[in-house]
Structure 1
Amino acid sequence: MGQAEAERDESLKLRQIADKITEAPSEAGRDEAAKLRQIADEIADGPTQYEIIKTCYGFLSTKIVLSAVELDLFTELASEPMTKEQLEEQLGLHPRCSADYLDSLVALGYLRREDGVYRNDPVVDKVLDASKTEHYIGGALEWANEHQYQTFGELTETLKTGEPQSGYMDEDEMFDELYEDEDQADAFTSGMAGLTSRVANYIAESFEWEEYESVCDVGSAKGMVPVTVAEKNEHLKATAFDLPELKPISEEFISKRGMDDRVSFHPGDAFEDDLPRHDVFVLGRILHDFGLEKKKELIRSTYEAMPDDGALLIYGSLIDNDRRENVVGLMTSLYVMVDSEKGYDYTPKECQKWLQEIGFSEIEVRDIPGPETMVVAQK
């Protein structure tokens, strides 16, 4: 019996006991029954009233944090702690709002306040200070604030029509806008690099790289995965494959990490250009952008570009096979549907089926710490 089923069973037993106690005529008996029902509600699988309210008003905390990123609040506080008055002057905050706004960030755990002086929480200081470029994830959050937050607000329309609400005709148009400005592209890819660093380390340390000599990450953005894998496996040659617009950004990142000798950038469009031959290919958080036929086309392209003993690593917030547990995967899939014409997320079981159809033989599903999953396929 799973944990959720056990909790529901325990809740049911408590309710049955409460029903029996209620039959007693005494006021004490009725009070005891009420307490048991309250406990049953708390351990039941469904949400409590408080959890329903917290979820439905979650957009408030989301926007509070995204506005802090937009204001460069965390970057400013990383340089030095400040009082409310100093932050008002530095960030242009209005006195009517500043106290409640800053203290909301304290209550959410993003800031700390001592004797009227605000400073970042240590984790926030690491990942939301723009000067700490290796770990900064704010670029992705800036894109979320400017584009994703408003787009997902149109979820109901997509649920009724099945049509995207982003205004883009296809995925190419979205990336054209995203990458047309180099500063915007740099900010976004820096954020994606920060979001990917944990997964990149897992892949670099857990996969059987000693059996291979080369790896190519398709849709690599700055190149966090190939750089990290090469850093931790000195015998490997690695390639970052992405659109030509990202060439200067990726090559600068590779150079700053001192990996020019073993990591290179290969410009191209995976649906129009042949992939360069490599032993291992990585498809990370990319398949969900496309419909089924393009998903299979991309997988097939990697299959044809690898040797007979090659391997493919697919990772992302895959939906669990029972479609009950990985809420991140399910919600990400809904966002992709609102944002793209045909994209959606998928389960490991669905992914395994596609891989088998294309010709991969040995397929293994591996859990990555957190909400993500990796599917490993051997040719």
Structure 2
Amino acid sequence: METKTLQIQVDPSKIMQVGTGFFASKTLLTATNMGLFTLLGKSPRSGEEIKKELGLHSRSLYDFLDALVALGFLNRTGIKETSVYSNAADTDLFLDKNKPSYMGGILEMANNRLYPFWNDLETGLKTGLPQNEAKNNGASPFEAIYADPDRLREFIRAMTGVQMGNFIAFANQFDFSTYKTLCDIGGSGGALSAQVVLNNRNMECTSFDLPPVSPIAQENIDAMGLGDKIHVVTGDFFTDNFPKADVISMGQILHDWGAADKKMLIAKAYDALPKGGAFVVIENVIDADRSKNVFGLLMSLNMLIETPAGYDFSTSDFEELTKEAGFVKTSIMPLAGPSSAAIAIK
């Protein structure tokens, strides 16, 4: 009798939702990749208009569009042949390529690169080896990405998109009043530096990254008219010393590397800072109990897929690594979604 009652009370819906979660994920990724939300950002469209403009087939047209309605990404009036579709508010803000708030780059990369690689997660778990481009040609994902200008731009758009909310939150929440300079290591397109100077008039920033990235960062900075406040410096954070600054930041950098390289990068940050300077790492920091930040834990699995030794770290890991380097105090500043700024003071 007790077994029967237990079976009735236990609900399998979570198992089904997660187990078939790739249905919804691939639907959103496909819509983003084909530019549906950018199209609807211009004006609402009927199903027939969407079909013609995106080159879709009649079969499953309304299943595709109405699934996006049910998932909350689209609004709709009418039904099927009388339907007119428009973007939901968050979709319109973040998934229309014509808006500066566009963050779909990470979804484009997820669709074009990550989605097929995750099919080999089991192999990665059994071998401990990356399951991306490196699996076939031995090149690191960064070598493959940086060797292709179009793929590099897509990667930078992706990293900017996924982090923009965090950069804005950090630029507004962190107390910059006692600092004057910031150097963003692995600064990519310069987005973090831009948000810092836009929101803190006392700050000047340096965006530090590899030679292929510098022209893209400079383009972005010039387009925003921030060339007098942000300096683009070319270098390799493995072989070069970090530029001196009051604040050293890293956005989605540390998790790419294993423990030895993490320690090396943290030590370089320590050396570049004055006493009282701040080392700031913006990532999906895992909670100390390793049971709440689902996205952080899944992102760490993505590091298995993407890198030879990378992993996402917990608040406890960060404290241990930075104290070993000589930092005296650490704190965590929650940002957007599952991300945080892990801060260590010299």
Normalization by structure 2: what TM-score? 0.93
The equivalent position to 2:150 in structure 1, one of 158, 163, 183, is 183
1:152-208: CA deviation from partner (whole Å, max 9, x where unpaired): 111111111111111327998312322333333233322322322221122112222
- Structure 1 residue 136 and structure 2 residue 102: aligned? yes
The answer (yes or no) to whether the contact 2:269–2:279 under 8 Å persists in 1 is: yes
Partner of 1:285: 252
1:271-290: CA deviation from partner (whole Å, max 9, x where unpaired): 01121111110112111100
Partner of 1:274: 241
**How far apart are the structure 1 equivalents of 2:62 and 2:316?**
50
**How far apart are the structure 1 equivalents of 2:175 and 2:38?**
39
1:283-308: CA deviation from partner (whole Å, max 9, x where unpaired): 12111100100011111111111122
How many residues align structurally? 341
The letter of the residue matching 2:151 is Q
Other structure's SS at 1:251 match: helix
Partner of 2:270: 303
Normalization by structure 1: what TM-score? 0.85
The answer (yes or no) to whether the contact 2:117–2:131 under 8 Å persists in 1 is: yes
**How far apart are the structure 2 equivalents of 1:248 and 1:99?**
43
The letter of the residue matching 2:49 is Q
Partner of 1:62: 25
The letter of the residue matching 2:129 is E
The letter of the residue matching 1:113 is R
- Structure 1 residue 79 and structure 2 residue 42: aligned? yes
- Structure 1 residue 334 and structure 2 residue 301: aligned? yes
Partner of 1:108: 71
The structure having more radius of gyration, on CA atoms, is 1
Q: Tell me: CA distance 1:112–1:286, structure 2 relative to 1, closer, same or farther (3 Å).
A: same
1:366 Cα deviation after fit: 2.6
Aligned-CA RMSD value: 2.1
The answer (yes or no) to whether the contact 2:186–2:251 under 8 Å persists in 1 is: yes
Structure number with the bigger relative contact order (C-alpha 8 A, sep ≥ 6) is: 2
The answer (yes or no) to whether the contact 2:133–2:139 under 8 Å persists in 1 is: no
Partner of 1:148: 114
**How far apart are the structure 1 equivalents of 2:342 and 2:189?**
23
**How far apart are the structure 2 equivalents of 1:104 and 1:187?**
27
Other structure's SS at 1:151 match: helix
Higher helix share: 1
1:347 Cα deviation after fit: 0.7
1:247 Cα deviation after fit: 1.2
Gaps of 5+ in 1: 1-17, 23-32, 42-47
The letter of the residue matching 2:116 is Q
- Structure 1 residue 350 and structure 2 residue 313: aligned? no
Match runs of 1:203-352 below 5 Å = 203-352=170-319
**How far apart are the structure 2 equivalents of 1:331 and 1:92?**
34
The answer (yes or no) to whether the contact 1:254–1:260 under 8 Å persists in 2 is: yes
Other structure's SS at 1:210 match: coil
1:189-238: CA deviation from partner (whole Å, max 9, x where unpaired): 22322322221122112222111110011112111111111111111110
The letter of the residue matching 2:42 is S
The letter of the residue matching 1:74 is F
Partner of 2:14: 51
